[in-house]
Amino acid sequence: MKEYKNPAELKSQARVHMFGRYGVTVRAYIWMNVILLILSWLFASMNNSGAGSLVSLIIFYAIRFIISGVFTSSLAYMYLNIGSDMPAYASMIFYAFKNQTDKAVLVCMVIDGLQLITCLPLIVAYMLYKNTPQTAFIVMMAAGVLIAIIGILYITVLFLPAYYLIHDFPDRGFTEILSLCPKIMKGHMSKAAMLYLSFIPLFLVEIISLGAAAPWVDSYLNASVCELYLDIMRRS
């Protein structure tokens, strides 16, 4: 019988592989977020100068959306190297801009699009409350928040392998990668959800530290999630 690691064991394994490598992942995290912050600053400057419009807003978010997806794919590649005891460098944050870029963008569009759909009840409730403030709409917003949290977590867990598969199986097409995800995660969904939820205390540390702890917390989370993927693939 195949014995898969539980969340505590996965986090322990992640700590082993991350020993001495936090400098790499933290630099990559900072580079990525500085670039995204500069993009936001440039758009804000353009908007304040009067050059902004609804069309430019849509274009900006589309560009930022695409770049974020490619960065996520690059992170997956970097953590695959870390989890496999291979060399990893902060410059790997740009890896997916030259490799499998189209798949990264398409995967990002599907995952983020599905997550956005789960937020629609919350958005509708908010718009209703904004136009007509009523207690009923506050209750609807609370329900919408719960639906969004559950929906986003479910989509995240269901397609957890997607970005890793892009680099593990570069010959596989975009649709094949997405179709493989539910098969790979079958029987592991609850464990993956528990792994994410186990990081809630550290997310609170991020908030208390005003984001200063985010590079280390996110590095630890990404390494742990990658360990889950590798454990499933190695034992399947």
pTM confidence score: 0.89
Q: Is residue 102 part of a domain?
A: yes
Per-residue model confidence (pLDDT) at position 146 = 94
Task: Please determine, for residue 107, whether its predicted confidence score (pLDDT) is greater than 90.
Answer: yes
Look at residue 1 and tell me if it is in a domain.
Answer: no
Give the domain extent around 204: 7-235
% of residues, the chain, pLDDT over 90:
75
- Total structural domains in the chain? 1
Mean pLDDT, range 14-35, rounded to an integer: 95
How far apart, in Å, are the Cα atoms of 107 and each of 58, 74, 171? 20, 13, 15
Query: Does residue 2 lie within any of the structural domains?
Result: no
Largest CA distance in the chain: 65
The answer to whether residue 134 scores a pLDDT higher than 80 is yes
Average pLDDT over residues 169-176: 92
Q: Is the pLDDT of residue 232 over 60?
A: yes
Q: Is 8 exposed, middle or buried (0-12, 13-18, 19+ CB in 10 A)?
A: exposed
